[in-house]
């Protein structure tokens, strides 16, 4: 009988990590990885694979690992997933492959730690070269170097297409570099996986905002096909009175300053970020946890997460929530801010909040939060980060006139292929709204497949 | 990498810089801006495009903080790592009749392409250029060919009319009834020009330059209340009708990083001193 529980992954101690941006989860040693790999039952029907948005041959890579053939294991991973070291760290495996794992169905057993094994294998051979098919005389433009774009670009390059990625920032990775903090996903790992994509022959053009710095029409005319993976873009604000007071930030701003612009190293790096004593972070998703843990590391004395629903409806990964709790983040459930209060200089000094209760389920299937009358109170804070999601970027409408949008302002693309129009494909958050890294990668993969057959058909 | 092609001091702490860029000139229109990141450590600095020609782009920079000091200290042949642009929406240039353009301090530079385009569109263009004193009045001769009338003002009276730009503006409104005003300069100046425009019921475009990070609509740092709504200067602007802007709020937002800016500048100056010493 196999071990009931996953081999534990070592972590930095909470007391140590709250002052540091070092990666929290330390990964397996080889012995630990092989021991964990041995828990896999090597099921013939592979239910775990159907739980993976990019369809990794999970039993296959685990088998190779078990046999200590790490190169083979890496090749199996990279065959389906161009960015496995990233996915091994940020995928919600508990809702995907590991949810389907047969071991996890045994009463009292945990599923195989597929994510941790993926991370271990990927880290060993991060720069492993991969063969590329003979070149095909077709050019593909990929707009956005985030998870969706990098995946589409790498898959198309492997097929021999000539691929150019246009990226708005000075570096590749999208949300992997501006959004997800260093302590959860070291930027060095992202850089190495991007190097792998480059090694396939993908060309990167940075500082290009298609629709602004180059018209979309020009890209469309110059390339045989275009993949749009520009992300969800614009921050959502609650829009309550006082939203423009000082020291109120979107999570996108706070995290972009800290991660992409490296404000956690200010003044070595020039971009500053605000650090205050009592900080409220609004929301309860993964980005909320990232923002809360970031501001705590930067030196906030108290960090309060404020969410209008209850712990049960929290969208964040349970692991991230636990990390946040361990690090001393304070949670306020069923609480909704309704107004910001400021001083004479417009610096925020507090939030007027109301308490909520849960009613009948709403469209999302979660119980609808309802205000409790007369429950108003003021929470004293000197900084607020709103982490309540994103909407499509304003450039989209003006800059991509040929692209059809749906009623949410996202790109209206075919679900299976990402097809928008002849030769135009889209995927990731710009189609689905805020989702996960791996879902965006899955979309990039499906579009790459569709683009390949479109271009070969077109001849 | 984008090379500094030329650099000229045109006023105290103010430099006229041409940088190499392969394609900004193909798309840049009056009113748009770019973002420069000097090096690996640099922040993203939004600057209005003063002009753009084949393979080069021009910015006028006043050294006020560490990043602008660093940029102004660069010499011909040195390079910046990143330039992104053009960004923002172009000015709405059309033939309107008599218009008035008002520039204050280093804001005179971004006003220049607007004035030139307004003239080219067939308008009668009245210019008011103001600064603290005559040394800070920049680009006056460059403006002349595109202006039908020119008023100068300085706070100390060392050139033109003594006082702020609103003094000549009152005259212009009374004498020539401009149908639209453009005002670019310090926020306080834009606030008072907008107030005057509002009192006289004249549309007044201002170019907002709030604190920005990405400049692509991603972060909301540059948000301002305009007409009761939350707008992002980078993607909804940078030009807005100044009569609708909540100036007092925006001016307070502008001071948010004052302390951090001081720390960064002091460290920079100290390091420069150590290098020289």
pLDDT value for A396: 78
State how far residue B229 is from chain A, nearest Cα, in angstroms. Answer: 9
Let me know whether B21 and B77 are in one domain: yes
Where does A256-285 have alpha helices with state H?
Answer: none
d(CA B254, CA A265): 23
Q: Is residue B263 part of a domain?
A: no
The pLDDT tens digits for A276-285 are 999 999 999 9
Q: Is residue B214 part of a domain?
A: yes
Average pLDDT over residues A215-243: 94
d(CA A116, CA A87): 10
Nearby residues of B242 by Cβ (< 8 Å), 6 or more positions away: B183, B190, B191, B193, B194, B197, B204, B205, B206
Residues of chain A with C-beta less than 8 angstroms from the C-beta of B213: 253, 256-257, 261, 271
> Which residues of chain B fall short of a pLDDT of 70?
276-277
d(CA A128, CA A71): 8
Q: Is residue B192 part of a domain?
A: yes
Q: Is residue B274 part of a domain?
A: no
Tokens of A73: 């294991």
> Domain A139-233+392-458 carries which CATH code?
3.50.50.60
The pLDDT tens digits for A255-306 are 999 999 999 999 999 999 999 999 999 999 999 999 999 999 999 999 999 9
d(CA B101, CA B165): 11
d(CA A345, CA A286): 32
A233, A244, A267 ranked by CB distance to B267: nearest = A267
Domain residue spans of chain A: 10-124, 139-233+392-458, 236-386
* Cβ contact A436:A151 at 8 Å: no
The mean-pLDDT minimum among A215-219, A390-394, B24-28, B179-183 falls in A390-394
| Owning domain of residue B49 | 2-87
Let me know whether B136 and B156 are in one domain: yes
pLDDT of residue A321 exceeding 60, the answer is yes
Q: Is residue B266 part of a domain?
A: no
User: A195: pLDDT confidence band, cut at 50, 70 and 90?
Assistant: very high
The pLDDT tens digits for A42-80 are 999 999 999 999 999 999 999 999 999 999 999 999 999
pLDDT value for A305: 98
pLDDT value for A398: 78
Let me know whether B118 and B218 are in one domain: yes
Q: Is A171 an 8 Å CB contact of chain B?
A: no
pLDDT value for B277: 53
Task: Identify any residues that bridge with A80 across adjacent strands, giving them in sequence order.
Answer: none
**Domain CATH for B33:** 2.40.30.10
Let me know whether B132 and B193 are in one domain: yes
Let me know whether B80 and B142 are in one domain: no
Task: Identify any residues that bridge with B162 across adjacent strands, giving them in sequence order.
Answer: B154
Residues of chain B with C-beta less than 8 angstroms from the C-beta of A394: 217, 232, 235-236
Let me know whether B110 and B79 are in one domain: no
ipTM field: 0.94
Please state which architecture CATH assigns to domain A236-386: 3-Layer(bba) Sandwich (3.50)
For helices A70-80 and A58-66, the axis angle rounded to 10 degrees is: 170
Are B214 and A274 an interchain contact pair (Cβ–Cβ within 8 Å)? no
pLDDT value for B32: 96
Where does A38-135 have alpha helices with state H?
Answer: 47-50, 58-66, 70-80, 84-90, 97-100, 114-124
The pLDDT tens digits for A240-260 are 999 999 999 999 999 999 999
A212, A252, A272 ranked by CB distance to B218: nearest = A252
pLDDT of residue A1 exceeding 60, the answer is no
User: A2: pLDDT confidence band, cut at 50, 70 and 90?
Assistant: low
Considering Cα of B164, then B169, then B171, then B174, what sign does the dihedral take?
negative
Q: Within 13 Å and on the Cβ side, how many CA atoms surround A316? A: 27
CA-nearest residue of chain B to A214?
A: B27
State how far residue A147 is from chain B, nearest Cα, in angstroms. Answer: 17
Let me know whether B117 and B233 are in one domain: yes
For helices A114-124 and A70-80, the axis angle rounded to 10 degrees is: 110
Q: Which of B32, B5, B57 is nearest to B215 (CA)?
A: B32
* Cβ contact B137:B159 at 8 Å: yes
pLDDT value for A123: 94
Let me know whether B199 and B234 are in one domain: yes
* Cβ contact B86:B35 at 8 Å: no
The pLDDT tens digits for B179-197 are 999 999 999 999 999 999 9
d(CA B184, CA B164): 13
**Domain CATH for B125:** 3.40.50.80
Residues of chain A with C-beta less than 8 angstroms from the C-beta of B85: 213
CA-nearest residue of chain B to A271?
A: B43
The pLDDT tens digits for A347-381 are 999 999 999 999 988 887 888 999 999 999 999 99
Let me know whether B72 and B119 are in one domain: no
Let me know whether B109 and B33 are in one domain: no
3-state secondary structure string, A375-387?
A: CCEEEECCEEEEC
d(CA B40, CA A272): 15
Q: Which CATH superfamily is domain A10-124 in?
A: Alpha-helical ferredoxin (1.10.1060.10)
Let me know whether B64 and B124 are in one domain: no
Q: Is A204 an 8 Å CB contact of chain B?
A: no
Nearby residues of B6 by Cβ (< 8 Å), 6 or more positions away: B16, B17, B18, B76
Q: Which of B43, B61, B87 is the last residue of a domain?
A: B87
- DSSP one-letter code for A440: H
Nearby residues of B24 by Cβ (< 8 Å), 6 or more positions away: A213, B34, B49, B52, B57, B83, B85, B86
Determine which of B214, B249, B254 to mutate to test the interface with A (most A C-beta atoms within 10 Å). B214
The pLDDT tens digits for A407-442 are 888 999 999 999 999 999 999 999 988 888 999 999
The pLDDT tens digits for B233-274 are 999 999 999 999 999 999 999 988 988 889 888 888 888 887
Strands (E), A294-334: 302-306, 330-332
Q: Which of B87, B121, B144 is the last residue of a domain?
A: B87
Residue-averaged pLDDT of chain A = 93
Would you say the CATH fold of A236-386 matches that of A10-124? no
């Amino acid at each position: 009988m196999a071990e009931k529980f996953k081999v534990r992954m070592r972590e930095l101690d909470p007391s140590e990590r709250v002052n540091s941006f070092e990666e929290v989860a330390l990964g397996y040693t080889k012995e630990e990885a092989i021991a964990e790999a041995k828990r896999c039952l090597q099921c013939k029907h592979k239910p775990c694979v159907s739980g993976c948005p990019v369809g990794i041959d999970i039993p296959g890579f685990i088998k190779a690992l078990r046999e200590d053939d790490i190169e083979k294991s890496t090749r199996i991973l990279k065959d389906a997933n161009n960015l496995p070291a990233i996915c091994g760290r940020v995928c919600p495996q508990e809702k995907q492959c590991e949810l389907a794992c047969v071991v996890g169905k045994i009463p009292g057993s945990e599923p195989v730690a597929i994510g941790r094994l993926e991370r271990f294998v990927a880290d060993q051979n991060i720069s492993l070269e991969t063969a590329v098919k003979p070149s095909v005389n077709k050019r593909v433009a990929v707009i956005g170097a985030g998870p969706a774009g990098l995946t589409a670009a790498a898959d198309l390059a492997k097929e021999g297409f000539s691929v150019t990625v246009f990226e708005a920032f000075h570096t590749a990775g999208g949300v992997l570099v501006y959004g997800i903090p260093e302590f959860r996903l070291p930027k060095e790992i992202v850089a190495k996986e991007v190097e792998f994509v480059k090694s396939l022959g993908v060309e990167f053009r940075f500082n290009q905002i298609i629709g602004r710095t180059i018209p979309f029409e020009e890209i469309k005319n110059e390339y045989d096909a275009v993949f749009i993976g520009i992300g969800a873009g614009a921050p959502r604000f609650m829009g309550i009175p006082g939203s423009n007071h000082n020291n109120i930030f979107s999570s996108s701003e706070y995290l972009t300053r800290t991660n992409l612009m490296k404000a956690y190293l200010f003044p070595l790096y020039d971009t500053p970020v605000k650090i205050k004593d009592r900080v409220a972070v609004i929301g309860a998703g993964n980005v909320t946890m990232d923002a809360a843990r970031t501001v705590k590391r930067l030196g906030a004395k108290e960090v309060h997460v404020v969410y209008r629903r209850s712990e049960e409806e929290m969208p964040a990964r349970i692991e991230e929530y636990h990390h946040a709790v361990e690090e001393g983040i304070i949670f306020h459930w069923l609480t909704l801010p309704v107004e910001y209060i400021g001083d004479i200089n417009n610096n925020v000094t507090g939030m007027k909040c109301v308490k909520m209760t849960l009613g009948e389920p709403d469209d999302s299937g979660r119980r609808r939060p309802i205000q409790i009358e007369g429950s108003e109170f003021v929470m004293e804070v000197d900084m607020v980060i709103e982490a309540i999601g994103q909407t499509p970027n304003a450039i989209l409408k003006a800059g991509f006139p040929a692209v059809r949008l749906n009623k949410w302002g996202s790109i209206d693309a075919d679900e299976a292929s990402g097809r928008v129009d002849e030769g135009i494909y889209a995927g990731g958050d710009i189609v689905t709204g805020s989702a996960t890294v791996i879902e965006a990668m899955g979309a990039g993969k499906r579009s790459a497949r569709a683009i390949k057959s479109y271009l070969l058909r077109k001849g | 990498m984008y090379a500094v092609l030329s650099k000229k001091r045109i006023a105290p702490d103010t430099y006229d810089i041409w940088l190499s860029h392969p394609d900004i000139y193909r798309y840049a229109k009056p009113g748009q801006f770019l973002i420069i990141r000097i090096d690996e450590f640099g922040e993203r600095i939004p600057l209005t495009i003063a002009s753009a020609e084949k393979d080069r782009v021009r910015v006028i920079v006043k050294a006020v903080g560490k990043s602008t000091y660093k940029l102004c200290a660069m010499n011909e042949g040195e390079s910046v790592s990143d330039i992104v642009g053009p960004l923002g929406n172009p000015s709405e240039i059309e033939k309107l009749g008599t218009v008035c353009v008002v520039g204050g301090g280093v804001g005179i530079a971004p006003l220049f392409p607007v004035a030139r385009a307004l003239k080219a569109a067939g308008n009668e263009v009245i210019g008011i250029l103001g600064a603290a004193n005559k040394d800070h009045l920049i680009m006056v001769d460059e403006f002349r060919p595109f202006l039908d009338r020119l008023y100068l003002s300085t706070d100390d009276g060392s050139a033109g009319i003594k006082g702020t730009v609103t003094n000549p503006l009152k005259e212009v409104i009374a004498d020539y009834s401009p149908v639209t005003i453009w005002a670019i300069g310090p926020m306080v100046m834009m606030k008072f020009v907008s107030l005057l425009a509002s009192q006289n019921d004249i549309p007044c475009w201002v170019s907002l330059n709030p604190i920005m990070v990405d400049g692509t609509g991603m972060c909301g740092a540059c948000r301002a209340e305009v007409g009761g709504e939350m707008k992002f200067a980078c993607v909804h602007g940078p030009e807005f009708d100044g009569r609708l802007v909540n100036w007092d709020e925006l001016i307070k937002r502008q001071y948010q990083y004052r302390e951090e800016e001081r720390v960064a500048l002091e460290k920079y100056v100290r390091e420069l001193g150590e290098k020289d010493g």
